[in-house]
Structure 1
Amino acid sequence: MVFVLLLTTGWTVAQGDSQPGARAAALTAWEQGSIAGRPLPDPDASARALTGFFGSLDAGQQKRLADRYPLVVGNLDGAPVPLRYRANRAALADAREAERARTHSPQLTEQGRQTAGRRMHRFESILSGDRQILAFDPTGNGRAAEVFGDLSRAERVSVVVPGIDTELLTFERTQRPHSAPVGMARALQDQQRERYPGVRTATVAWADYTAPRGLGLDAASAKLAQDGAERLIDFVRDALPRHSGGLPEVALFCHSYGSVACGLAAEGLPPRVTDIAVAGSPGMRADNVGELHTEARVWAIRDDDDWIADVPHLEFGGLGHGADPVAPEFGARRLSAEGVSGHAGYFVPGTTSLAGFASVGAVGTGGSAAAG
């Protein structure tokens, strides 16, 4: 029955496959490399071990590793944040040139060359200015994370977890910018800085997991969300630097399918995660807040015109994501959606949803935007 409902609401478009690429080659080179006669650590080592390794190097040695193995260093939790920014700029420049070459490749179809051109321009855009790219992997459809604000000094860190169709080509958008991870995170950070100038905040556009493409079976199942949940737990636990006052508190802002990943991650998140806010959620793989097994405050919001309300809030045979987080019986705290337009409008400046998110992110309350 659930499958039929999903079929009739458009949840059955297939997702294309991703292929291994440059990062796999970079990891192989790293495993065979050394610095000052010392072997390089296992890239899957604990963040504590990696922090210790980089702490044993001088600045020149650190930079040499970032320049030589950018696709590895740029994604290592435990590596110094400024070094990750440096490495990812180098990795982006390499990826841009690789895509530039692919635009002329006779081995690609015309459509393939056009896609290569789009990716080349996307990488050029991300390289512009002084952008702080905390993670980057061009493999397949790609993954990335970008920081707004000073992550090394932040007392409160907001993490935006986006949903379906998130990849490198949709990491940012010129049209409807606040429907893409970069626009969402930038708007949230601007709102926090404007409303709470006394709080040191930073915001991360965290698109560092493989999201479903289209409203297909992947979007109706939890497989990709489970992988995203594990990566999110690792990120929150290991990637955020300690400042003079200790580790920052964290609020998660989970949009659409991203809320499935956040729901699955909830039980494993460290105590520093104080708030989980879901917007336009198809469900969190739980019947109520208690089943999330988290001490974090849970917030939910949905606009009346959001099409996600028409998706069955059921779970059967691995399809569907469970109860509706905005339903009173779910037990989440409600945020106002006044001024929101549709499924992609929650982070648009001027909406009460963005104002409420800023209050949650900066001080852990919904402010005047709370309802119910």
Structure 2
Amino acid sequence: MAGPTGLIWRRIPLSRFSGDSGCGIPGVGVRGTAAAAPLSSTARSRRLPLTAPVPRRIAPSSACTRSRCGPFHRIRSIRVLTGCSTSSIASAKSSCSCANRLKSSCRDIPVIPSDPVGRRKNTSTSCNDGLGSSLVEPERVVDADDLERLAKLLTDKRQLAEQYYARACRLVGQAQATPLAAMLRWAGETATELGNRAAIVRAAEKGGDPFGALSEFGLSTAIGTVSGQDRTRLIKDLKSVINRNEAARPEQRAEAIRKFFGKLTAAERSSLAIEQPDVVGRLDGAPATVRYAANRLLIERALAHEQKDLAALKATDPKSPQVTLLEKRVARMTEFLQPRVTGDGRSVPRQFLLFDPAGDGRVAEVFGDLAKAEHVAVMVPGITNRLDNYQDLAIDAQTLITDPDTKKDLPKTAVITWLGYDTPELGDSVLQAKAEAGAPALHSFRAGLEAAKGAKFALFAHSYGTLLSSKALQQGTPFDSVVFMGSPGLGANVKSVADLKLAPGTPVFAMRAPGDWVSYSEAHGKDPAELPGVRRLATGHSSGHSQYYIPNNTALQNLQTILTGDGCYQSFLGSPELDDEQFGASAAPVLVKELQSRVPQWKVGELGAVFESAIKSALDGNADLKTKAAQIWQALQKANLDGYFTKEDIAAITAKTLAASGDLIVKRYMTMSLPAPQ
């Protein structure tokens, strides 16, 4: 089993907790006199954390008959050992006939100092610790349930010992009863520690490093204070809150989640993060740090799973295209677990408010300190963004939050990448279905965000993400400023800023770089750069569809100005004519509309797939109208869509497209030969 291993623990015979031994605390006699000094704080601090890998299980050698060997072959999760020294255990290993196998399987077992209670001096293989044990090898293997039962037993007996302590104080005075008080503290701390380790092992059985995930974000690791019954109750209560508010507005639902977590102890919040990471990690309204820890655990588990899938696929079908895809996904998840290096060289843990590896993958990452941020940007990407190529979006976010002068993160600022929906490929980007499905998720995500009091939230949407954002805004998603970049349109119903239903006075901006054919297509309505009430911004030397975040450029400077509210943005001052901006741009929306009008709505997605290669070539700057016309016709035939187009249709579409492009293009292409339907 991958993940944390247990600590080699000093064995405490259960017989020492029986009522016949007096107060039931180890080392305390029938008359309440202290027989052993309690575990000092120094000794406690020397205990190794539960972080080393669990030794793999091995079968004993047939030639191995020594009694000392057998128990080592039964290692499973948490082992309760006798109170023998490190040298004794080493001796037991080396004396076994399968010593080499033992060394490979047991070398990672951490061992506590040989004398944790200041009493045991014997380092021979015959251990006499005064607690009735004489064996060197581990006595038995216990799991999380055993540890929890032992912790409960310690807690119960501690309550009995408290009565004896009170009686001792009355009989001999508090000063004389001090050893009992120290032992009571020991019992309480030990019970908590046992419970912590049991809870961590229980979570680790599912994979990942829960203790590390909690520690990474400063969360409580004292999850052992949450009993099994309390864990069950917490999970039930959380599900109840979620179900009761399922139909509520996102703001109401997020507030209900906030109130629920606000009533929990730090240990209870941590417990939910590692017990229910798939629920808590994406739960809008839950504390950000709790979600960070839950998602880190999910990433660790997904990474381990896909690494196994990749190894198996390479062994059986190394030439499969899935190998490349899995390699990229594994690389991304590996990067997620590494620190983010800021512009000034600082390393900070990566913070995820959402992680779901299913399908193309969904991710939401926070750059900066969200809790202290006074300026927050939410980036919504468009077509072809997935988990395997997420690094491109992360680079844009890092560029956005980096101060160009100091190279540090912009002060009091956070940037969030929200890849929280199933983004379309080029083919199905002509449909609105994925924007409509993703809009409620963006609304819910925004409702669950908490930053500094009075923080301003900006929405930076790109490509197909502008269509989704438009629909989310119309549902009431609150943002203090909005920027649309490279938009194919905000929906046929959006004719002006008023149709977005924003709060009065909310500034709306748009960017369209020269050569951005996605914007020229107007596949989903009027380009927002042309809408009344929208302020079009300059893009500097950006060109094409994907250069709005390049460093040292006017477009990025405008985005940072809007995000922080510092400085002045630069408006677009060029010609309003499309063909002055890009030769032939005015023909694109005509061509798209003409083609869509001749195909049934339920076939539009297939039509988009037909044009995918042509669109890619245009985006790459390899557009040749005559060649593309031939390729499009061949693609229509291959997709069995040629039946929707006659020779006259092709001629009419061509004529309208050329007419929309002006006399220059008409004269240039009027004589070109088009492929005739067969």
Mark the runs of 5 or more structure 2 residues left unpaired by the alignment. Answer: 1-205, 207-228, 246-252, 340-348, 574-678
Cα distance in 2 between the residues matched to 1:282 and 1:203: 24
- Which residue does the alignment assign to 2:4? none
1:298 is matched with which residue?
508
Change (3 A) 1:153 1:279: same
Aligned: 1:125 with 2:322: no
Residue 454 (structure 2) pairs with residue 235 (structure 1): no
Paired position in structure 2 for 1:326: 529
Q: Tell me the residue number matched to 1:136.
A: 355
Alpha-carbon distance in 1 for matches of 2:405, 2:351: 17
Aligned partners of 2:280 and 2:291 also within 8 Å: yes
Q: What's the TM-score, normalizing by structure 2?
A: 0.44
Preserved CA contact (<8 Å) 1:34 1:40: no
Structure 2 partner of 1:165: 384
Contact 2:401-2:410 within 8 A present in 1 as well: no
Distance (whole Å) between structure 2 residues aligned to residue 108 and residue 158 of structure 1: 45
Cα distance in 1 for residues equivalent to 2:377 and 2:295: 21
What is the CA–CA distance in structure 2 between the aligned matches of 1:198 and 1:187, rounded to whole Å? 10
State the shift of 1:267 in Å.
2.1
* Residue 55 of structure 1, CA deviation: 2.1
Q: Which residue of 2 aligns with 1:187?
A: 399
CA distance in 2, matches of 1:198, 1:126: 22
Match of 1:257 among 464, 474, 483: 464
Pick closer, same or farther for the CA change 1:198–1:223 going to 2, 3 Å.
Answer: closer
Q: 1:356 aligns with which of 558, 564, 569?
A: 558
| In 1: Cα distance, 2:477 partner to 2:507 partner | 13
Choose between structure 1 and 2: higher helix proportion. 2
* Letter in structure 2 aligned against 1:209: Y
Q: Are 1:204 and 2:406 counterparts?
A: no
CA contact under 8 A between 2:397 and 2:416: conserved in structure 1?
yes
Q: Is the 8 A contact 2:402 2:410 kept in 1?
A: no
- Contact 2:542/2:550 (<8 A) preserved: yes
Counterpart for residue 35 of structure 1: 231
Tell me the amino acid that sits aligned with residue 153 of structure 1: K
Q: Distance in 1 between the 2:554 and 2:443 partners?
A: 29
- 2:305 and 2:409 map into 1 onto residues whose CA distance is 42
Q: Is the 8 A contact 2:537 2:569 kept in 1?
A: no
List runs of 5+ in structure 1 lacking aligned partners: 1-24, 26-32, 173-179, 314-319
The separation in 1 between residues aligned to 2:439 and 2:308, in whole angstroms, is 35
1:233 Cα deviation (Å)?
1.1
**Alignment correspondent of 1:369:** 570
- Provide the rounded CA distance (Å) in 1 between the counterparts of 2:430 and 2:323: 31
Rg comparison, structure with higher value:
2
Identity of aligned residues (%): 33
Q: Alignment partner of 2:442: what SS?
A: helix
SS in 2 for 1:152: helix
The 3 A distance-change label for structure 1 pair 251 and 119 is same
Q: What SS does structure 2 have at the residue aligned with 1:134? A: strand
Distance 1:240 1:99 in 2: 30
Q: How much is the aligned-residue C-alpha RMSD, in angstroms?
A: 2.6
- Aligned partner of 1:56 in structure 2 is 263
SS of residue in 1 equivalent to 2:365: strand
Q: Which residue of 1 aligns with 2:436?
A: 226
Which letter maps to 1:325?
P
SS of aligned partner of 2:528: coil
Q: Which amino acid aligns with 1:301?
A: M
For the 8 Å contact 2:513–2:539, the answer to whether it is kept is: yes
Deviation at 1:305, TM superposition (A): 2.0
* Partners of 1:105 and 1:267 in 2: CA distance: 47
Q: Is the 8 A contact 2:306 2:330 kept in 1?
A: yes
- Larger relative contact order (Cα-Cα within 8 Å, sequence gap ≥ 6): 1
Number of residue pairs matched by the alignment = 319
- 1:269 and 2:479 correspond: no
Report the alpha carbon displacement of residue 70 of structure 1 after superposing the two structures with TM: 1.7
Query: Are 2:281 and 2:353, in contact at CA under 8 Å, matched by a contact in 1?
Result: yes
Match of 1:167, SS state, is coil
Which residue, out of 284, 287, 304, partners 1:97?
A: 304
The 1:352–1:183 alpha-carbon spacing in structure 2 relative to 1, beyond 3 Å, is: same
Residue 140 (structure 1) shift:
0.9
Give the structure 2 partner of residue 78 of structure 1.
Answer: 285
Q: CA deviation at 1:284?
A: 0.8
**Contact 1:192 1:362 survives alignment (8 Å):** no
Conserved 8 A contact 2:403-2:410: no
For 1:147, the aligned partner's letter is: V
Residue 28 of structure 1 corresponds to which residue in structure 2?
Answer: none
Cα distance in structure 1, aligned partners of 2:416 and 2:375: 11
